[in-house]
Structure 1
Amino acid sequence: MIKNYQNPIRRGMYPDPSIVRVGDTYYLANSTFEYYPGIAMAKSTDLLNWTSLTGVIQHPSQADLSQAKSNEGIFTVSLRYHDGHFYVITTNFAEFKTFLIRGTLTADGQNITWDQTRVEIDIAGIDPDIYFEAGHSYVQFTGYLDDQGTKGIQQVEINLTTGKVLRGPELLSYGAGGRDVEGPHIIKKTDWYYLLLAEGGTGVGHMITMLRSRNLWGPFTTEPGVNPLFTNRDRANEPLQNIGHADLFQDPQHNWWLTCLGTQPANVDFKQITNIGRETLLYPVTWNQAWPVIYQGVPTKTVDLSQFPRHAATLTKPQVLTDWTDDFDKTTLSPDWLTLRGPLADLQLNAGQLALPGKDRRFNDLGTPAFIGIRQAEATETFTLTVDPSTTLGTGQLGLASLINADHYAAILINATDDHHYQVFRQQQIADVQVHDLLGTLTELPTTFTLTNEPADKIFTVKTATQSLSFKTSALHLSNEGIAALNTGDIQGAYVLGNAKLVLTKATRSAQ
């Protein structure tokens, strides 16, 4: 029997988790903001070990992310299963459109095929949830109630096929008293409708709250001592912070579980630095009385199941935290890779190689630059790209970059010289400050580019068989605190400019 496990269960930038169970398999959806494919998906049969699935949004007809600015794009996602179909509901902030996309399990049950068209819902808000009951479909969302930014949880009934609003919007609740009420989910239990919420802002004051009503349209109320239901807002020493945006679900034995987001800030010189972004957490829930009790009341990194034997009995496999490697030996790209705002149509996979042709577009240009990256998953880890000799430079540049948004990134890039050598540059932008420094010259094409992530620093290195050049920058520059926003985390990967073409034979991410 599993005695304990470690949070996060989904490491790296996987915020706003929503989980449903279909048969013996759990499915998890996460927000992706300006990254593509939109809406990350994963599956598991044991809740602790997750396999990435193809992301939901892969066509402009589903959502147009081409003009998504930093921290825009796909906001909070809700995932539900109804009458043999999956449904994701979300808001694309770049279009300010709320919509549903329907999915169906493939014949082999191994993946989900998503409709290429969406069903739009005419509501003014974000963070939608969908609830089904007795042939009716209801959408709850964070609505803007006036021109001063006042928020409240509203509800509409919709036609599931057309998205037409049949009733509402009507106000359900202003929340339990915290600022920025958001992330609603409706859960029905013993003739009560429970309204699960996030409040306090996506930061150190974040918290999970709950209200309930006998009627789906309210009024929703709470009781003294219930809220906040789960938070670390007054526990600065806990390794997990910013706890919020939760969802409740049941396992096959009808035990309740809660998934939520949280961050793992690193403590550096009396500062907290968050490079990884918001991650997916999991806790057992006891719900024998009127209100659920989440774990032992404190969101911890290690979850001790000694007081939860029924929950532990459903966890069939121990948690295995492994390093990540891509040898590019598949005919399709690993779903762990991300691009910005759209697909890279000219990317090539062939016989253990990935070829990435360059573009003139840079990070701070809207659209899709020639960048393909994966999430930073640990405060201390190493990410390496192995370069194939068939790589060509032309008059362009190529290398390894890490970014938290379009205006906060760092890269180590090379270009070719007329005498067949390679100049190495530090290219960095922090807000309106730009750095373009020559680090030195290599006499042959590099074999690897490496990013060493540490709590305080990021070290970018390029190597040949006999040479090595590197630079160091503060991790604070590429942190949530550095950009005063908490939507995204650091993404690291290959970056190609101009008419260069980078050919890779391997990419690895390993914890140190």
Structure 2
Amino acid sequence: MTASEPILAGFYPDPSICRVGDTYYLVSSSFEYLPGIPIHVSTDLVTWTLVGNALTRESQIAEHRGYPSAGIFAPTIRHHNGTFWIIGTNVNDIPLGRGHFLIHTSDPAGPWSDPVHIAGAIGIDPDIVWDDDDIAHVTWCSLNPEQPGIQSAPIDTTTGALLAPPRQLWQGSGLAFPEGPHLYRIADWWYLLLAEGGTERGHAATIARARTLDGPFEAAPHNPFLTHRSLAHPVQNTGHADLIELADGTWAAAHLGVRPRGQTPGFHVNGRESFLVGIDWIDGWPVVDETRFAVPPVDRSFADHFAGSDLHPRWLGVGRFPASFTRPRTGGGLLIDADAGEGRALIAARATDLVWTASAQFTAEAGTGRFLLLIDDRNWYGLTYDGSTVEATLAVGPIEHSVGRHDIPAGVVPTLRIRAIPAPVLPHGVSLEPDLIELAVIVEGAERVFGAFDGRYLSTEVTGGFTGRVFGVQALTGQIELREIHYAPTAESASTA
């Protein structure tokens, strides 16, 4: 059976992986959300724990602003001479002329250093590798029209200065959008791995090799060596891979993919996720084995009463750190202040399962809040509570539409609930939607369901972009007190229409 279960479910795209001894470390793109660059740790490659984020303070990311699908693109993590390094791109820096950023630490759980910017390297998807003389080389997808394609240059990791002019490496196999380069020194070869074909259904991973960094790079005869394009496979958009040698000397690759559902063209809702495949080296080239790793079921449920002084690393803000608009309350709970600085006062977490239930409780004596599921700032379904009434609203592009209101008795704190439930199966065995999103309020044990709404409008195929769904609580006006948020997967079963 081929791999169809992600090692990281939910929007954890563009995985990059490294190993130290028997422990593996994986980072992902975070785009407009802060803290940025989540870091997962594993000792078996199939079960992973979120231990922190690399970008956790303002001094590390001066220009952000929360534009949808902007922010942090495709970081690479490597370990060299006792130090962990992450190189990444903040695309909001590009108009300012700042290149990729480089941070380091001795402990991947953090804290990580303030960034060094690499002047003269304008582009996305950077990689870092050290040669036999211990010189660091940065490779990236250039956005400089005078130096197009995949560029590489040696750098000073202390200052970020290029030590030689950038040179063009292999430009791919001929598919669209060659990007996501990773450069490896393996045996007597330099291997250059690329993502090609765009990050949609044509996505693929290709590879080439050369004896020296001066090239020429020779393409693998079986490119693309990883892709699901034009296949009837439950995982699509596979690509953007990173190779890793295991502690036992065998090899694997982490890569992104999506799990589309519903009628053609299929709709993926939780974003691009991280998957794992085995790698065999045959005649000096990587060959994928999708049957090697069995990913066990994972219970991703949680209940957070916000009782401590520090937020769990799952919690995100849009273009700002949650600490800039939240404050823990004595005895538990979290104060969210809509007027604390610029930007949305939204604390959110990734949706990670195909069907799930999330609920929230907050008080609204001094403001108005909303519990919502969103894919960006224009596409969301939510429940707004102002202390006396709960209103269910759907936002699709420029349209916001109320689908019901329910009065709340004085002195009662309602439970707001959002569920992703299976879509009905038609007689010919197909569901039109990827899922349905049910909005409900529970008051003193009585449930009021406002309806179950088409999940396609909260999918990447409809909204565009590079992220996935998140859910959370936003202060719209004044201050609200968040008491708790619960999340749990639910049984996947569908009704027959």
- State if a TM-score over 0.5 links the two structures: yes
Q: Which stretches in structure 2 are left out of the alignment for 5+ residues? A: 422-433, 492-497
2:35 to 30, 37, 40: 37
Please tell me the residue identity of whatever aligns with 1:489. G
2:298 to 321, 346, 354: 321
Counterpart in the other structure of 1:262? 257
User: Residue 413 and residue 355 in structure 1: after superposition, are their counterparts in 2 closer, same or farther (change >3 A)?
Assistant: same
Counterpart in the other structure of 2:495? none
Counterpart in the other structure of 2:177? 180
Give yes or no for the alignment of 1:490 onto 2:487. no
2:435 to 434, 447, 456: 456
Please tell me the residue identity of whatever aligns with 2:353. E
Residues 405-416 of structure 1 mapped to structure 2, 5 A cutoff: 405-416=376-387
Residues 122-141 of structure 1 mapped to structure 2, 5 A cutoff: 122-133=120-131, 134-141=133-140
User: Residue 5 and residue 329 in structure 1: after superposition, are their counterparts in 2 closer, same or farther (change >3 A)?
Assistant: farther
Contact 2:179 2:195 in 1 (8 A): yes
User: Residue 195 and residue 162 in structure 1: after superposition, are their counterparts in 2 closer, same or farther (change >3 A)?
Assistant: same
Counterpart in the other structure of 1:291? 285
Per the TM alignment, residue 194 of structure 1 is displaced from its structure 2 partner at its CA by 0.6
Contact 1:7 1:281 in 2 (8 A): yes
Per the TM alignment, residue 174 of structure 1 is displaced from its structure 2 partner at its CA by 1.6
Residues 211-226 of structure 1 mapped to structure 2, 5 A cutoff: 211-224=208-221, 226=222
2:355 to 380, 400, 419: 380
Please tell me the residue identity of whatever aligns with 2:182. H
SS of residue matched to 1:499:
strand
* Cα distance in structure 2, aligned partners of 1:346 and 1:143: 36
Please tell me the residue identity of whatever aligns with 1:398. G
User: Residue 31 and residue 367 in structure 1: after superposition, are their counterparts in 2 closer, same or farther (change >3 A)?
Assistant: farther
Residues 322-361 of structure 1 mapped to structure 2, 5 A cutoff: 322-327=299-304, 328-344=306-322, 345-350=324-329, 353-359=332-338
Per the TM alignment, residue 446 of structure 1 is displaced from its structure 2 partner at its CA by 3.5
* Cα distance in structure 2, aligned partners of 1:471 and 1:95: 42
What is the aligned-residue RMSD (CA, Å)?
Answer: 2.3
Residues 411-422 of structure 1 mapped to structure 2, 5 A cutoff: 411-416=382-387, 422=388
Please tell me the residue identity of whatever aligns with 2:268. T
Q: Deviations over 1:3-51 (max 9, x none)?
A: 9976200010000000111122111100000001111111111111111
Contact 2:371 2:473 in 1 (8 A): yes
User: Residue 358 and residue 76 in structure 1: after superposition, are their counterparts in 2 closer, same or farther (change >3 A)?
Assistant: same
User: Residue 351 and residue 508 in structure 1: after superposition, are their counterparts in 2 closer, same or farther (change >3 A)?
Assistant: farther
> TM-score, normalised on structure 1?
0.86
Per the TM alignment, residue 467 of structure 1 is displaced from its structure 2 partner at its CA by 3.6
2:49 to 38, 48, 51: 51
Counterpart in the other structure of 1:393? 365
Give yes or no for the alignment of 1:228 onto 2:224. yes
SS of residue matched to 2:111:
strand
* Cα distance in structure 1, aligned partners of 2:55 and 2:447: 40
Per the TM alignment, residue 450 of structure 1 is displaced from its structure 2 partner at its CA by 1.3
Aligned length: 471
SS of residue matched to 2:456:
helix
* Cα distance in structure 1, aligned partners of 2:337 and 2:109: 32
Q: Which moved more, 1:322-331 or 1:27-36?
A: 322-331
* Cα distance in structure 1, aligned partners of 2:164 and 2:350: 41
Contact 1:423 1:440 in 2 (8 A): yes
Contact 2:271 2:468 in 1 (8 A): yes
SS of residue matched to 2:140:
strand
Percent identity between matched residues is 30
Please tell me the residue identity of whatever aligns with 2:338. K
1:61 to 59, 69, 78: 59
> TM-score, normalised on structure 2?
0.89
Q: Which moved more, 1:37-46 or 1:58-67?
A: 58-67
SS of residue matched to 1:505:
strand
Counterpart in the other structure of 2:429? none
Contact 1:398 1:496 in 2 (8 A): yes
SS of residue matched to 2:389:
strand
Q: Deviations over 1:227-251 (max 9, x none)?
A: 011100111x210000011100111
Q: Deviations over 1:430-472 (max 9, x none)?
A: 2122224542312243442211113331112121114433233
Contact 1:246 1:259 in 2 (8 A): yes
Please tell me the residue identity of whatever aligns with 1:39. I
* Cα distance in structure 2, aligned partners of 1:509 and 1:66: 31
Residues 237-248 of structure 1 mapped to structure 2, 5 A cutoff: 237-248=232-243
SS of residue matched to 2:373:
strand
Q: Deviations over 1:246-274 (max 9, x none)?
A: 1001111111110000000112x444111
* Cα distance in structure 2, aligned partners of 1:54 and 1:189: 30
